[in-house]
Amino acid sequence: MKAAILLPVLANHDAVGNDAMAMAQILRERGIDTRIYCDVAVGLNDVTHRPDELLGFAGGPDDLVIYHFSVGWPTALEILRKARGRRVVRYHNITPAHFFAPIAVEYADVCTRGRAEIGRIVALGCDLYLGDSHFNLDELIEHGAPADRGAVFAPFHRVEHLHAAQADLDLLDELADDAFTVLMVGRIAPNKGHVELIEAFAAFVDAHGDPARLLIVGKSDPRLQAYVDAVRGRIEHHRLGDRVIWLESVNEARLKAAYLSSDVFMTLSQHEGFCVPVIEAMALGVPVLARATSALPETVGAGGLCWDSEDPHVYAASLARLRGDAQFRRVLREKAHRRYASEFSPAVLRARLLGALDLAP
């Protein structure tokens, strides 16, 4: 048997890329000849192959093809249609276009095209559909995928690397004061809820006092400049300019320093297929505060505090509670550690992948 991992863009330190590379590694460790096929590879030393060569390698009846579906890509449909072996779709979710429509038309187009492909992928009748979350799998089932061919496990991640990495001392020094630090990690995009985050943080500063700081870690995209401007506009409106720190591009060391310096990880994202930063925070002992949308309640589970509310005062009061109640922080940390160990540790994910593929020893 040979295995092929298929995806349009393979980027290092990207959630989908991490998942794809970890799967390839695990299959190779099981003695299966595995290759990664992609159009574009960014920042990698590994050898990748062109998608049009996939069928020549793993197109036979005994072979395995795993497609990482996170964006519209007709090439993959064509390849899956022709592959004669076991076909597996790993669905990472696609952000609905309405988030981008008022800001970047081309982004909205890409999302529309991607979501239009969900039905086509399901119509191919693949052998297995893997969701990062039940939220993702349910979307496939709504489009007609048979529930008995579905399985769910979290994406592979780099939390263990983050654990082992040395934190950036300069950033640790910079953030070492008595300010209460709230952290958000995620690219600057309209579905990520940065505006709501600013509103909640402003309510916290107004109602519960200083010193406090909001640390936003995430890349911005020039094509989403209008959204960045909107976020900055809210910061200026609330006169929070000196209390908000943006770290646009961070390496592992700076990311670790950001987690270690923070008192709370807060995300008010409106659409997530899984949200890896939540489990990074859980593993590094930062209490998690989140808005219960999309897959977030499922990812956070009992390991954090989730609210099905848009009210900024609720999040502000939650931050105040987390600042003042050491026992509550301790309880959240303990629960988060337990949840990470039982649901998201690499050994658990590996066993679930091999189990889903019927490759368990």
Partner 1 sequence: MDSTDDYFKRVKAEILAEAEIARMRAPLPRREPPPRGSTAPVIDVSGIERDRLDYRIAELTDENYIAFVEQAYRAILKRPGDEAGRNSQINHLAKGASKAEILGNLRWSPEGRRVGAHIRGLLPRYLLAKLSHVRGIGYLVDWCASFASLPVLLRHQRAADVMIASKIGELAQTLRACEERLGALEQRIERGTSQVEQRLRVIDERFGIVDTRLVGHTQTVDELRHYVYAGNHWLATVQRNFADLERIADEQRRRVDVLAAGVQETDAQIKAHSTRHARWSSEIAARLHAGARVLDLGSGDGAWLAGLAACGMNAAGVEPVSPLVKAAALQARPVAAGDPLAALERCSDGSLDAITLADASLCCGSASLLRLLDATARVLARPGWLFVRVEAEPRRADAGSGFDAERWRALLAAAGFEDLAVVEVAGGSLVAARCAGAVGQSVTGAQ
Q: Binding of partner 1 at residue 169 (CB under 8 A)?
A: no
- Tokens matching residue 16: 């989908």
**Nearest-angstrom CA–CA distance, 311 and 99:** 20
Using CB under 8 A, pick the residue from 30, 113, 149, 321 that binds partner 1.
321
CA angle (107 as vertex; 106, 113 as ends), nearest 5 = 90
Where in 188-207 is the site for partner 1 (CB under 8 A)? 188, 203, 205-207
**Nearest-angstrom CA–CA distance, 113 and 163:** 38
Pick the piece of the chain touching partner 1 (CB under 8 A) from 62-70, 126-134, 312-320, 348-356. Answer: 312-320
**Nearest-angstrom CA–CA distance, 297 and 291:** 8
Please report how close the Cβ of residue 325 comes to partner 1 at its closest, in angstroms: 8
Characterize 222-238 residue by residue with b for buried, 16 or more Cβ atoms within 10 angstroms of its Cβ, and e for exposed: eebeebbebbeebbeeb
Pick the piece of the chain touching partner 1 (CB under 8 A) from 115-123, 135-143, 279-287, 327-335. Answer: 327-335
Pick the piece of the chain touching partner 1 (CB under 8 A) from 124-132, 155-163, 232-240, 265-273. Answer: 232-240
Please report how close the Cβ of residue 169 comes to partner 1 at its closest, in angstroms: 14
Using CB under 8 A, pick the residue from 166, 222, 347, 358 that binds partner 1.
222
Q: How long a stretch of residues is the chain?
A: 361
Using CB under 8 A, pick the residue from 28, 29, 42, 123 that binds partner 1.
42
- 294, 212 in Cβ contact below 8 A? no
Q: Binding of partner 1 at residue 244 (CB under 8 A)?
A: yes
Q: Binding of partner 1 at residue 103 (CB under 8 A)?
A: no
**Nearest-angstrom CA–CA distance, 251 and 266:** 20
**Nearest-angstrom CA–CA distance, 171 and 173:** 5
Residues found near partner 1 in the complex (CB under 8 A): 9, 11, 39-42, 105-106, 109, 171, 174-175, 177, 179, 188, 203, 205-213, 215, 220-223, 225, 228, 232, 235, 239, 241-248, 302, 305, 311, 313-314, 316-318, 320-321, 325, 328, 331, 335
